[in-house]
Structure 1
């Protein structure tokens, strides 16, 4: 610990809130991302991190300076997340709720009784791994498939996997964090890895995007946005894999296969909604497109959805459309675009 950090720690223990802020500020972003991975919601991550920092402030006297402040704060944040999981349960995507729809559902009603998985802004993420022994890079560890798979794990397994595979902590360190035995941690890791292996593709989106290349990725994302704006069904279909899926939380219905997806696209977004405009962006370590909709003939286009794209080969293998203007705000995008 540097001299300045040691001074800040002493002052923070004496009740200096500014000193405590200086101690935790360099770690705030990575702690927030950890809470998102645990909880599947940026909003829940906000609440959990706030609770964790409050607990850390109140319990700072229990931190032993010979250890790592970072590891201690991760332990506090993990326990705050486990309390949230116990109280609220897991979050889901439409594909978790049942089979795909065999026909297009028009004017579907949202499911308000489901805690939906939400997107995460890439701007909050760093590059590379969080530790020398980490298996996942930071952006890989927020990809939709990975975060959705984590939601199928009990809280203790979720925490053990993230602390081991994303942070690179040892089983003994995790046992201390979770106040359990190393044997229990190893058992939780084994069970968690099996679920992840069954639910997450072998190739991450990070790897798929690198293989595709920046130029082709830009063309693919721009082509999706342009096809939607023009209402060009043929151009959209040409960008999709044969087994593509399209889901739209909080709507429960989802579609699998290019025929079903295009049937939905032709009947709903391409013809029934209105005029579209788009901004290309990224979320969850994946390419994304923010959609803005104008229902009438004049006026601005207002934020409508955030479409996170999953890429395989040189095509789009999944579209996850998070409906609601709040997702544009989450990414720091405007709430409306000029007409």
Structure 2
């Protein structure tokens, strides 16, 4: 059998198995429904994160969406693909959740930067944008019509920009430019007109273009190369662990920013960031250890701070690094031990 014939045979067998599972699921077979949705869970979860800006909210939204899909499976008539129907359910679920609360933000969205370190900074009870564990997320676009790569579409700058859009514009942009659905398909999914979808897309593109720096991190990371990216991450970690100001500053751009949600203050420019780094993480907190990871399609580290009572370094923050020309231009430290589990990182280091 030729490779082409073998491939067609596998595709046909997979389609027949899916059709059979769909029949079984409609008859109440939960295992069959689980098999149907399993190949799409990862991309659906990423879509929910893009819509909501929180991995925790994405967990809840996906669970709710799949429950709605399971209960309403008899309404899926098979005219379109199961994938498009599941995205319809997931998008409407996310719009319901987003409509019930305000948008998520980063400290840079809420006020001006501080020109010197604020020791004893307090956490604000805002709905903050959160980091995204991107392990297993595909590198390329989701479909031939998609403009953004899958990992590019979870980068911090892009997801933060999405939070400035009304729900319908956010959904239209993601469905069209990230997932590759047509305007007509989106109109059906969102129960509106193609004209309304195109209008929402035009407004959304304008706002995102104003807020997202070019080029995307994925292009920058490919240009720098994996080996050099690992060196930069290792250098950042080592400088903090040694308390080495010069080594840390050498890694930073002149216009670097450092923010720490949920803490209120953030810093812009090499002088302000250096003052903060010297007075807080380098000398004011204690000793650090780090584990490399990846978040939002970007290099990141799990930062662990020494705790005398525990006699160990405890999970403190996920530091997401944005690079430009082999230097760090943004550090976003998501301060909360609760983030670590979703990244597969331990809660402490002995």
TM-score by length of 1: 0.98
Partners of 1:267 and 1:66 in 2: how far apart? 61
State the secondary structure of the residue aligned to 1:122.
coil
**Paired residues for 1:1-339 under 5 Å:** 2-112=15-125, 114-296=126-308, 299-338=311-350
Partners of 1:132 and 1:193 in 2: how far apart? 19
State the secondary structure of the residue aligned to 1:265.
helix
| Deviation of the 1:323 alpha carbon | 0.3
**Contact 1:237/1:262 (8 A) holds in 2:** yes
What whole-Å deviation, never above 9, does each CA across 1:27-53 have from its counterpart, x for those lacking one? Answer: 111100000000000010011111111
What whole-Å deviation, never above 9, does each CA across 1:44-87 have from its counterpart, x for those lacking one? Answer: 00111111111111111111223200000000000000001110
| Deviation of the 1:124 alpha carbon | 4.1
Partners of 2:274 and 2:262 in 1: how far apart? 20
Give aligned pairs, total: 337
What whole-Å deviation, never above 9, does each CA across 1:117-175 have from its counterpart, x for those lacking one? Answer: 00000114122111011111110000000000000000000000000000011100000
Unpaired runs of 5+ in structure 2? Answer: 1-13
Q: How has the CA–CA distance of structure 1 residues 12 and 298 changed in structure 2, closer, same or farther, with 3 Å as cutoff?
A: closer
Partners of 1:46 and 1:214 in 2: how far apart? 30
Across the aligned residues of Structure 1 and Structure 2, the Cα RMSD in angstroms comes to 1.1
**Contact 1:274/1:296 (8 A) holds in 2:** no
Q: Which runs of 4+ in 1 moved over 4 A?
A: none
**Contact 1:292/1:304 (8 A) holds in 2:** yes
Partners of 1:4 and 1:321 in 2: how far apart? 45
| Deviation of the 1:332 alpha carbon | 0.5
State the secondary structure of the residue aligned to 1:9.
helix
Unpaired runs of 5+ in structure 1? Answer: none
Partners of 1:19 and 1:315 in 2: how far apart? 49
State the secondary structure of the residue aligned to 1:242.
strand
